[in-house]
Amino acid sequence: MSKTILKTEEEMALMAEGGKRLASVLSSLSDIVQKKKTNGLELAKKAEELALKLDGRPSFKGYQGYPASVCVSINDEVVHGIPNETPFKEGDLVKLDFGLWYKGLCTDAAITCPVGHISPEDQRLLNVTRDALVKGIDVSSPGNRIGDIGATIEQYVLDAGFQVVRELVGHGVGKEIHEGPQIPNYARAGEGKILEEGMTLALEPMVNVGGWKVIFESDGWTVRTADGKNSAHFEHTIALTSKGVKILTKE
Residue 64 has a pLDDT of 96
User: What percent of the chain has pLDDT above 90?
Assistant: 96
Which one has a higher pLDDT value, 34 or 176? Answer: 176
Position 192 confidence tier, pLDDT thresholds 50, 70, 90: very high
Mean pLDDT across the stretch 58-70?
A: 97
Q: What is the pLDDT of residue 92?
A: 96
Q: What is the mean pLDDT of residues 68-95?
A: 97
Q: What is the pTM of this model?
A: 0.96
Give the per-residue pLDDT at 2. Answer: 76
Checking if the pLDDT of 1 tops 60, the result is: no
Q: How many CB atoms lie within 10 A of CB 219?
A: 10
β-sheet bridge partners, residue 224: 77, 215
The stretch 161-174 carries a mean pLDDT of 98
Q: Reply yes or no on whether the pLDDT at 34 is more than 90.
A: no
For the chain, the straight-line distance linking the first and the last C-alpha, in angstroms and rounded, comes to 29
When pLDDT is cut at 50, 70 and 90, the band that residue 35 belongs to is confident
The CA distance from 198 to 204, in Å, is: 19
| Average pLDDT rounded to a whole number, residues 32-52 | 93
pLDDT digits (tens, 9 = 90+) for 105-162: 999 999 999 999 999 999 999 999 999 999 999 999 999 999 999 999 999 999 999 9
Environment class of 24 (CB within 10 Å of its CB; exposed 0-12, middle 13-18, buried 19+): middle
Domains and CATH numbers, the chain: 9-247 (3.90.230.10)
Which pLDDT does position 84 carry in this prediction? 97
Residue 71 has pLDDT above 60, yes or no: yes
**More confident of the two residues 206 and 37:** 206
Type of residue found at 15: M
What is the rounded CA–CA span in Å between residue 177 and residue 179?
7
| Position 185 confidence tier, pLDDT thresholds 50, 70, 90 | very high
Q: What is the pLDDT of residues 203-248, one digit of tens each?
A: 999 999 999 999 999 999 999 999 999 999 999 999 999 999 999 9
pLDDT at 60: 97
Q: What is the pLDDT of residue 114?
A: 96
pLDDT at 196 over 80: yes
CA gap 184, 112 in Å, rounded:
20
